[in-house]
């Protein structure tokens, strides 16, 4: 609960003006009372209301500044009549009142223009900007009246106050990388594929990749879901990227890369996975010299050697990788294993070092007689490495040598395990079984509906509510598994149902391979012991989650090695933020965030998406488009990409479902 | 697509789920006002004027973009809607310059019309104005103070033309449209100007010359290439004393169709003949009487082609049409092999394809509007476009997903390889199957210098695609093996998923080939109709007797969409016409267009009066002009052969091609489209020919000595130069040679 003077935020009317402090009503929203460290905010104003923290604030000026921020946003838009002209009329009138030249009828004009904007604007920003302004006119009528009646300037008119604004959207806020989703979708609607890609790459360089294999948390924040179904945000991202690669266009950057600075500053990045590549990209765009050290002979990290070709074709991923390596200040060293000693050297030599080595150790299933040296026991990471190195790079040998006509059991329930079983099918395994402790619903929630079903169609047998108790071998060769069965027992106290072993329900599976894909851990050997790097309770590298510096000065971490096994989009976000912090740190030695990043964190705390909000001005019932997939028999014996992506028209139709839920938020400090 | 039921303004309507409210309303004659809606592109959604109300739904819904859902009850007009629409029109009026009196658009301006419709008679809002500028974009100019940011121009430039060089430069009230590639390759198609609802985009040359409402519209057809696009000549008497009329501009049905720069701006090529020259007319009659050969170009109406045929029969002369002969051979061979007189595809089908091969054409120059349809497929269908040609065209690289470079002369080999890669062999006769299996791909790929992998990749390129179109251009018609190529292409259309779209080499080559029996050449005294000969009748005004240009004639053309479409005379022609000569020879009629109904029915024409040919489009933009030529069926016999050796083109090779903006000697007479003819080549060409940029060079093409300034174009590759012919007068129509030729370049001086 937060103490505010006044608030209309999300319909919660709080008015503590002229009330004794002990009678103050508190707000239930996480409003940004403090802007940064010890800098308090005076007011917060946004799409769903206004909150005042400083009793003395000039609300006429506040309203006027908010309208001005909208004008600044329009600098990037201005693409509908009410937004282009209406917003300017609104600002001109508020400025006139604040200047002390307003007339009573100006308030009426503001109301009239607000109504037109609310009813007819193209995007939510135009529809919502008038809302808090009208709130202020209603609840702070006296301040407006004073300016008009006395023809006096509002009290802070012309004074040096600071207002910081940020444009967001529910989907943007929900996306870890804060990709400007409405922008890339709008560009698709306009069939300007290049503009679409360029909008994506502002915060997401791996557009070919995250248009294919992102679990799309953004779609959980899509307002369209309040109406019918969320937009197929993830797959739409692919269109712009594929346009670039299909037409062999020259690289489409979000802005023109800066000239190499050549100022002697340089940054080292350990690992060329999504995190390393993304950090290199944003540092490279700024002209900062970056050296990437990669242990494997190939670039791309786990997405290259872990995600199979049929989900993420390497030709497409390579485009994202080349986008980064094409930058003149980015240099890559492959086959370059960094150990603790080497890391010490690098840390000394470079102005900053970013760890992005991922989490590539397969965890055990914790069964009896579980030994990694047993023949037939094969960690998921090692197995996928081998599959992918062969199919994508012709390194090593085909895994069908091992798996053909064999029975394979995988223990897991996440993306990695689905990759394992689907690869096993493609390598010719006779029988492929997935053992999962929980149920079908959970596996779908942890992965995607499509992927789970595709695995089923391809012939993977799923055994739910089961876990391996013991591994039986003969002469160190895996023979069979003894498996426990579980059931869900409801908690009598109303808590989460608990998994309970069913006694006497054990069964055996004869198999040739057991592939544990329960989770991954990071290889901490790289961290010099004497640095005593602080770790999280789940044994990943600890940072404050804002600037991504580790406990060692100048050593940053991003991606799975920081967070634990997580998504590509999370790694990209962390790396981009780290790159931004590093780009300042190497010159100032200080860890700072820019206003955009500070506001980004404020809005994430406040939460932008409101699942209870009623949608106005759109008709429900337009079906979400589903892209074409290869038929089971067309895909299960090869590595062709399963998802063919949207056709042009499907993409446009899907893009036209997007409601452009842009919002603008502003803090006065 | 699922059917849905909706109610609009009380009217119950059945329609399909993919239609927008606005589309359904318009189909049912229900009016919803718009400022930014343009039928041929996807909804823009900028003006917000088309908002409607839906029962049970809060707020207003954008009808141009929202698709109908089952059971929706929609109200297109209410007090609240009227109020918001009026407010929007008030916003448009803010600071819009009050210069209607001299504005180029006045009288046909959407802003004027809607301002009046919504009774915006006072300015209730105000805004501080800003300084705005006028920019010159070549033939047209952009006045940002008049611009209402409807974005129609941006949409057509991207979606229809495929250039995407116009962009909105955002900036709220300051937002403007910018031309991002003015310095290079703006092809001046004028599409942006055509769709501008206000005076913001205007033709410089047209400004301040007339009020639009004074112009008389003469609907006709563009004759410059076989796309045969719809257009209207807009005509007015020049002055009070001068009763002569003049074409002021060309407009078109821009909601549905488009035009290229040549069609839109190259309109003033009429032959200014002031009176009938009786003496010369008698000479012409005599010439025809003794003619052993009648030569002509296929820039001619069907009716005149028929007249020439009748005259030839009367005087016992042979018909020679150099620019259509190769094509007529192609057509005959194609028909025999295909069992059908015509190809199956159309431009509309092309725009709906997702797998396209362009073969034997520098497409953006040969047929700019066909290129537009490829652009539409690229944008809307995510089409994979394979461009097969000896010379890459960087101007359309954003549309092409794969370029396959082959050696000049190897079209036959390329066609065979396409057949081999894509054939559904199980449907073929055993002989044909054996032939296809025996095609020596190794040899062909070696000779045409493309790798076998490239051919295999073609199949991958089109993996899972649904609609295939093969566009075939003019390179093949004068190829020595044109008949075998035609047969291979016929086999491709029959035994692969491809439909063919053939681009006839000149405006009405298709009509001419169907109507006339042509011979390749014939000795003896010749009369030329728009062709070099012993006695010449010329619409260029440089012959013995003048003839009307095509903007001065009535008649019909056959388009590559296989439609017979009408031409009307934009301007009067005062001299003698071909029908007069025919009458003197006893084969004419009262009017040339009396022959429209006599066009050969056995070739697919219909016995229809000229005056009953309509110019119209469907709500979805289907071309319904005139009528569709009937495809004649016959037995199909496919006997193919494989080349033993392919011709080689080493050294300095020129390619005959005219730029899109100036395709022939007629456009070279028009003020806005005429240009200087240059030989444009690569650096390699320059060094092989030992010439440099700016040199005047001489060479021989098909017996014509040509002298031109040479220019280097860095975007071209290979040892090639592009040679235009638009400055050659009637000789341009008499070049019956393969488009690539090895020439000896001499530097002058």
3-state secondary structure of A49: strand
**Number of folded domains in chain B?**
5
- Put simply, the answer to whether A191 touches B42 (Cβ < 8 Å) is yes
- Put simply, the answer to whether A84 touches B70 (Cβ < 8 Å) is no
Task: Give, as one character, the DSSP assignment of residue A535.
Answer: B
CATH architecture of A2-161: Up-down Bundle (1.20)
- The answer to whether position B436 is within a domain reads yes
- Put simply, the answer to whether A79 touches B174 (Cβ < 8 Å) is no
Confidence label for B310 from pLDDT (cuts 50, 70 and 90)? very high
How confident is the model at residue B650, as a pLDDT? 84
Q: Of A360, A288, A299, A303, whose CA–CA distance to A333 is shortest?
A: A299
pLDDT tens, A220-274? 999 999 999 999 999 999 999 999 999 999 999 999 999 999 999 999 999 999 9
pLDDT tens, A274-288? 999 999 999 999 999
- Check which CATH number belongs to the domain holding B33 and give it: 3.10.20.740
Name the residue among A84, A616, A622 with its Cβ closest to that of B173: A84
CB A445 within 8 A of CB A415: no
Rounded CA-CA distance A8/A23 in Å is 18
pLDDT at residue B435 tops 80: yes
Chain B 380-409, CB below 8 Å of chain A: which residues?
380-384, 397-401
The third-level CATH classification (topology) of the domain covering A266-360+522-593 is FAD/NAD(P)-binding domain (3.50.50)
- The answer to whether position B119 is within a domain reads no
Region A140-161: mean pLDDT is 93
Task: Clarify whether residues B162 and B205 are in a common domain.
Answer: yes
Chain A 59-88, CB below 8 Å of chain B: which residues?
71, 74-88
Task: Clarify whether residues B678 and B597 are in a common domain.
Answer: no
Nearest-Cα distance to chain A for B99, in Å, is 20
Q: Of A315, A294, A283, whose CA–CA distance to A212 is shortest?
A: A315
- A68, closest residue in chain B (CA to CA): B172
- The answer to whether position B204 is within a domain reads yes
How confident is the model at residue B632, as a pLDDT? 95
Confidence label for A387 from pLDDT (cuts 50, 70 and 90)? very high
Which of these three, B475, B502, B529, is where a domain ends?
Answer: B502
| CB-CB neighbors (< 8 A) of A85 in chain B | 91-92, 94, 125, 127, 173
- Looking from the CA of B440 toward its CB, the CA atoms found within 13 Å total 10
Confidence label for B651 from pLDDT (cuts 50, 70 and 90)? confident
Q: Which of B382, B397, B467, B715 is most worth mutating to test chain A (most A CB atoms within 10 A of its CB)? A: B382
How confident is the model at residue A234, as a pLDDT? 96
pLDDT at residue B398 tops 80: yes
pLDDT tens, A458-481? 999 999 999 999 999 999 999 999
The answer to whether A197 faces chain B, any CB pair under 8 Å, is: no
CB B186 within 8 A of CB B133: no
- B69, closest residue in chain A (CA to CA): A621
Locate the domains of chain A by residue range.
2-161, 171-253+609-656, 266-360+522-593, 362-519
pLDDT at residue A375 tops 90: yes
- Put simply, the answer to whether A77 touches B170 (Cβ < 8 Å) is yes
CB B305 within 8 A of CB B516: yes
pLDDT at residue B184 tops 60: no
- The answer to whether position B275 is within a domain reads no
The percent of chain B in helix, strand and coil, each rounded to the nearest 5, is: 30, 20, 50
Task: Clarify whether residues B431 and B491 are in a common domain.
Answer: yes
DSSP string, B377-427: HHHHS--EEEEE-SS--GGGTTT-SEEE---TT-HHHHHHHHHHHH--GGG
The answer to whether A326 faces chain B, any CB pair under 8 Å, is: no
Task: Clarify whether residues B724 and B675 are in a common domain.
Answer: yes
Phi, psi of B398 (to 5 degrees): -75, -10
3-state secondary structure of B696: strand
CB A47 within 8 A of CB A665: yes
Rounded CA-CA distance A650/A645 in Å is 9
Chain B 42-101, CB below 8 Å of chain A: which residues?
42-43, 45-49, 51, 54, 57-62, 65-67, 69-70, 72, 80, 84, 87-88, 91-92, 94
| CB-CB neighbors (< 8 A) of A81 in chain B | 35, 46-49, 88, 91-92, 148-149
SS (H, E, C) A392-436: HHCCCCCCHHHHCCCEEEEECCCHHHHHHHHHHHHCCCCEEEEEC
Rounded CA-CA distance A160/B282 in Å is 93
| CB-CB neighbors (< 8 A) of B55 in chain A | none
Region B658-666: mean pLDDT is 95
| CB-CB neighbors (< 8 A) of A643 in chain B | none
User: Which one of 3.40.1390.10, 1.10.1060.10, 2.40.100.10, 3.80.10.10 gives the CATH number of domain A171-253+609-656?
Assistant: 1.10.1060.10
Q: Which of B43, B44, B125, B156 is most worth mutating to test chain A (most A CB atoms within 10 A of its CB)? A: B125
Region B235-250: mean pLDDT is 92
Name the residue among A113, A122, A247 with its Cβ closest to that of B397: A247
How confident is the model at residue B375, as a pLDDT? 97
Task: Clarify whether residues B520 and B663 are in a common domain.
Answer: no
How confident is the model at residue B183, as a pLDDT? 65
pLDDT at residue A206 tops 90: yes
- Check which CATH number belongs to the domain holding B203 and give it: 3.30.70.20
Q: Of A511, A666, A512, whose CA–CA distance to A595 is shortest?
A: A666
- Put simply, the answer to whether B149 touches A92 (Cβ < 8 Å) is no
- Put simply, the answer to whether A82 touches B151 (Cβ < 8 Å) is no
Region B443-460: mean pLDDT is 86
Which value, to the nearest 10 degrees, does the dihedral of the CA atoms of residues B98, B99, B100, B106 take? -130
- Positive/negative CA dihedral, B610, B615, B618, B621: positive
How confident is the model at residue B649, as a pLDDT? 87
Region A558-577: mean pLDDT is 95
Task: Clarify whether residues B568 and B695 are in a common domain.
Answer: no
Contacts of A56 (CB under 8 A, 6+ apart): none
Q: The domain containing residue B22 runs over which residues?
A: 3-77
Task: Clarify whether residues B241 and B374 are in a common domain.
Answer: no
**β-pair type (B740-742, B653-656):** antiparallel
Q: Of A663, A601, A607, whose CA–CA distance to A30 is shortest?
A: A607
The answer to whether A628 faces chain B, any CB pair under 8 Å, is: yes
3-state secondary structure of B485: helix
Q: Which of A108, A111, A120 is most worth mutating to test chain B (most B CB atoms within 10 A of its CB)? A: A120
- Put simply, the answer to whether B381 touches A647 (Cβ < 8 Å) is yes
Torsion-angle region of B403 (φ positive above 0: left; ψ -120 to 50: alpha; else: beta): beta
Task: Clarify whether residues B544 and B606 are in a common domain.
Answer: yes
| CB-CB neighbors (< 8 A) of B48 in chain A | 80-82, 120-122
- Put simply, the answer to whether A82 touches B91 (Cβ < 8 Å) is yes
- Put simply, the answer to whether A82 touches B45 (Cβ < 8 Å) is no
| CB-CB neighbors (< 8 A) of A640 in chain B | 463
CATH class assigned to A362-519:
alpha beta
- The answer to whether position B274 is within a domain reads no
Q: How far is residue B530 CA from its own chain's centroid?
A: 22
Task: Clarify whether residues B365 and B467 are in a common domain.
Answer: yes
Q: What is the ipTM of this complex?
A: 0.91
Confidence label for B692 from pLDDT (cuts 50, 70 and 90)? very high
How confident is the model at residue B454, as a pLDDT? 86
Rounded CA-CA distance A334/A199 in Å is 30
The pLDDT mean for chain A works out to 94
Percent residues over pLDDT 70 in chain B? 99
Phi, psi of B148 (to 5 degrees): -105, 15
- Put simply, the answer to whether A121 touches B48 (Cβ < 8 Å) is yes
CB A458 within 8 A of CB A439: no
How confident is the model at residue B618, as a pLDDT? 84
CB-count burial class (<10 Å; 0-12, 13-18, 19+) for B229: buried
pLDDT at residue A1 tops 80: no
Task: Clarify whether residues B252 and B148 are in a common domain.
Answer: yes
CA distances B711 to B72, B576, B661, B714, Å, are 62, 42, 18, 10
Residue A90 token pair: 């609104």
Residue A615 token pair: 């949608």
CA distances A197 to A180, A387, A572, B29, Å, are 11, 31, 16, 40
The pLDDT mean for chain B works out to 93
Nearest-Cα distance to chain B for A69, in Å, is 11
Confidence label for B187 from pLDDT (cuts 50, 70 and 90)? low
How confident is the model at residue B186, as a pLDDT? 66
Nearest-Cα distance to chain B for A278, in Å, is 27
Q: Give yes or no on whether A171-253+609-656 and A362-519 have one common fold.
A: no
């Amino acid at each position: 609960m937060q103490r505010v003077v006044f608030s209309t935020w999300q319909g919660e009317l709080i008015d503590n003006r002229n009330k004794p402090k002990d009678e103050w009503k508190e707000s239930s929203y996480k409003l940004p009372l403090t802007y940064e460290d010890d800098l308090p905010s005076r007011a917060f104003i946004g799409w769903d209301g206004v909150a005042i923290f400083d009793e003395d604030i000039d609300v006429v000026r506040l309203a006027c500044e908010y309208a001005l921020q909208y004008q600044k946003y329009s600098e990037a838009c201005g693409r509908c009549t009410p937004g282009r002209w209406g917003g300017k009329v609104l600002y001109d009138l508020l400025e006139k009142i604040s200047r002390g030249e307003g007339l009573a009828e100006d308030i009426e004009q503001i109301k009239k223009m607000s109504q037109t904007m609310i009813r007819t604007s193209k995007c939510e920003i135009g529809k919502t900007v008038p809302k808090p302004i009208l709130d202020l006119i209603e609840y702070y009528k006296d301040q407006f009246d004073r300016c008009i009646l006395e023809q006096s300037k509002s009290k802070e008119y012309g004074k040096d106050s600071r207002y910081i604004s940020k444009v967001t959207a529910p989907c943007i806020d929900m996306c870890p990388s804060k990709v400007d989703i409405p922008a890339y979708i709008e560009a698709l609607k306009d069939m300007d594929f290049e503009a679409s890609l360029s909008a994506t790459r502002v915060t997401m360089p791996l557009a070919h990749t995250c248009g294919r294999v992102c679990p799309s948390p953004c779609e959980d924040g899509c307002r369209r879901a309040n109406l019918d179904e969320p937009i197929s945000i993830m797959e739409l991202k692919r269109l712009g990227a594929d346009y670039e690669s299909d037409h062999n266009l020259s690289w489409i950057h979000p802005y023109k890369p800066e000239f190499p600075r050549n100022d002697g500053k340089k940054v080292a990045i350990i690992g060329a996975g999504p995190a390393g590549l993304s950090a290199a990209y944003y540092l490279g765009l700024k002209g900062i010299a970056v050296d990437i050290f990669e242990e494997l002979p190939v670039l791309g990290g786990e997405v290259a050697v872990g995600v199979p070709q049929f989900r993420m074709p390497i030709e497409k991923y390579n485009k994202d990788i080349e986008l980064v390596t094409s930058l003149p200040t980015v240099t890559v060293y492959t086959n370059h294993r960094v150990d603790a000693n080497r890391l010490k050297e690098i840390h000394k030599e470079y102005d900053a070092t970013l760890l992005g080595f991922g989490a590539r150790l397969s965890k055990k299933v914790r069964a009896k007689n579980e030994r990694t040296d047993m023949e037939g026991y094969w960690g998921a990471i090692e197995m996928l490495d081998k599959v992918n190195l062969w199919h994508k790079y012709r390194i090593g040998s085909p895994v069908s040598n091992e798996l053909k006509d064999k029975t394979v059991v995988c223990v897991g329930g996440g993306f990695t395990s689905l990759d394992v079983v689907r690869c096993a099918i493609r390598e010719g395994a006779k029988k492929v079984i997935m053992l999962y402790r929980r149920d079908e619903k959970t596996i779908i929630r942890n992965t995607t509906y499509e992927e789970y079903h595709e695995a089923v169609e391809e012939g993977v047998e799923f055994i739910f509510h089961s876990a391996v108790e013991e591994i039986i071998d003969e002469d160190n060769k895996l023979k069979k598994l003894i498996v426990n069965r579980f059931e869900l027992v409801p908690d009598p106290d109303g808590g989460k149902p608990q998994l309970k072993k069913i006694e006497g329900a054990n069964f055996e599976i004869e198999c040739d391979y057991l592939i544990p894909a329960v989770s991954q851990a990071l290889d901490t050997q790289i961290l010099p012991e004497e640095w005593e790097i602080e770790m999280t309770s789940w044994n990943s590298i600890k940072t404050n989650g804002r600037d991504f510096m580790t406990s060692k000065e100048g050593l940053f971490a991003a991606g799975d090695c920081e967070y634990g096994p997580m998504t590509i989009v999370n790694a990209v976000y962390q790396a981009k933020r780290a790159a931004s912090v590093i780009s300042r740190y190497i010159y100032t030695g200080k860890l700072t965030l820019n206003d955009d990043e500070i506001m980004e964190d404020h809005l994430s705390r406040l939460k932008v998406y409101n699942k209870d909000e009623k949608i106005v001005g759109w008709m429900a019932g337009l079906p979400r488009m589903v892209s074409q997939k290869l038929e089971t028999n067309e895909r299960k014996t090869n590595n062709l990409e399963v998802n063919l992506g949207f056709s042009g028209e499907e993409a446009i139709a899907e893009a036209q479902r997007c409601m452009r839920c842009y919002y603008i938020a502003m803090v006065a400090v | 697509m699922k059917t849905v039921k909706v109610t609009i303004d009380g009217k119950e309507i059945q329609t399909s789920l993919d239609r927008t409210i606005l589309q359904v309303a318009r189909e049912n004659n229900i009016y919803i006002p718009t400022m930014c809606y343009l039928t041929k592109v996807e909804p823009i959604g900028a003006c917000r004027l088309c908002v409607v109300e839906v029962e049970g739904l809060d707020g207003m819904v954008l009808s141009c973009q929202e698709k109908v859902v089952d059971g929706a009850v929609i109200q297109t007009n209410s007090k609240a809607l009227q109020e918001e629409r009026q407010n929007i029109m008030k916003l448009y009026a803010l600071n819009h310059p009050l210069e209607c009196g001299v504005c180029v658009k006045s009288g046909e301006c959407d802003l004027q019309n809607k301002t009046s419709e919504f009774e915006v008679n006072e300015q209730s809002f105000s805004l501080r104005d800003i300084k705005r500028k006028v920019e010159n974009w070549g033939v047209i100019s952009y006045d940002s103070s008049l611009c209402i940011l409807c974005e129609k121009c941006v949409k057509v430039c991207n979606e229809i033309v495929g250039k995407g060089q116009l962009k909105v430069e955002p900036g709220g009230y300051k937002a403007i449209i910018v031309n991002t590639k003015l310095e290079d390759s703006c092809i001046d198609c004028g599409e942006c100007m055509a769709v501008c609802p206000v005076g913001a985009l205007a033709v410089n040359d047209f400004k301040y010359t007339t009020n639009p409402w004074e112009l008389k519209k003469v609907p006709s057809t563009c004759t410059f290439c076989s796309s045969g696009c719809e257009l209207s000549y807009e005509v007015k008497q020049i002055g009070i004393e001068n009763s002569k009329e003049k074409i002021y501009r060309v407009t078109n049905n821009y909601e549905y169709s488009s035009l290229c720069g040549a069609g839109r701006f190259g309109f003033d090529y009429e032959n200014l003949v002031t009176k009938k020259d009786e003496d010369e007319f008698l000479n012409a009659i005599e010439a025809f009487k003794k003619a052993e050969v009648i030569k002509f170009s296929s820039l001619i109406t069907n009716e005149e082609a028929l007249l020439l045929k009748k005259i030839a029969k009367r005087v016992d002369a042979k018909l020679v049409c150099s620019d259509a002969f190769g094509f007529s051979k192609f057509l005959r061979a194609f028909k025999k092999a295909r069992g059908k007189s015509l190809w199956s595809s159309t431009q509309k089908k092309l725009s709906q394809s997702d797998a396209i091969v362009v073969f034997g054409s520098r497409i953006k120059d040969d047929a700019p509007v066909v290129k537009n349809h490829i652009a539409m497929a690229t944008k809307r269908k995510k089409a994979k476009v394979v461009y097969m040609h000896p010379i890459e065209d960087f101007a359309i690289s954003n549309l092409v997903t794969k370029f396959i470079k082959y050696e000049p002369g190897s079209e036959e080999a390329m066609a065979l390889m396409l057949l081999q890669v894509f054939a559904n062999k199980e449907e073929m006769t055993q002989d044909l199957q054996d032939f296809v299996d025996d095609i020596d791909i190794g040899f062909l790929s070696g000779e045409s210098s493309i790798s076998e992998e490239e051919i295999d990749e073609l199949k991958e390129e089109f993996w899972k695609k649904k609609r295939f179109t093969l566009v075939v251009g003019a390179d093949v018609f004068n190829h020595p093996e044109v008949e075998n190529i035609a047969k291979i292409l016929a086999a491709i259309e029959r035994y692969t998923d491809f439909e063919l779209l053939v681009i006839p080499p000149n405006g009405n080559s298709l009509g001419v080939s169907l109507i006339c029996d042509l011979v390749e050449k014939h000795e003896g005294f010749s009369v030329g109709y728009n062709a070099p000969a012993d006695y010449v009748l010329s619409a260029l005004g440089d012959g013995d007797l003048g003839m009307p240009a095509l903007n001065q004639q009535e008649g019909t053309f056959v388009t590559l969409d296989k439609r017979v479409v009408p031409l009307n005379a934009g301007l009067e022609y005062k001299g003698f016409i071909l029908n007069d000569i025919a009458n003197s020879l006893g084969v004419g009629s009262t009017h040339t267009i009396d022959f429209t109904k006599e066009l050969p029915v056995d070739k697919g024409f219909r016995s229809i009066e000229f005056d009953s040919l309509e110019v119209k489009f469907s709500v979805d933009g289907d071309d319904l002009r005139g009528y569709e030529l009937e495809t004649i069926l016959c037995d199909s016999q496919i006997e193919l052969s494989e080349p033993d050796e392919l011709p080689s083109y080493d050294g300095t090779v020129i390619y005959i091609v005219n730029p899109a903006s100036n395709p022939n000697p007629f456009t070279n007479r028009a003020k806005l489209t005429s240009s200087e003819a240059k030989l444009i080549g690569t650096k390699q060409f320059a060094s092989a020919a030992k010439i440099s940029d700016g040199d005047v060079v001489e060479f021989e093409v098909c017996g014509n000595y040509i002298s031109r300034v040479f220019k280097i174009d860095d975007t071209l590759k290979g040892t090639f130069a592009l040679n235009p012919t638009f400055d050659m007068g009637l000789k341009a129509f008499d070049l019956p040679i393969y488009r690539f030729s090895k020439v000896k370049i001499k530097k002058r001086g």
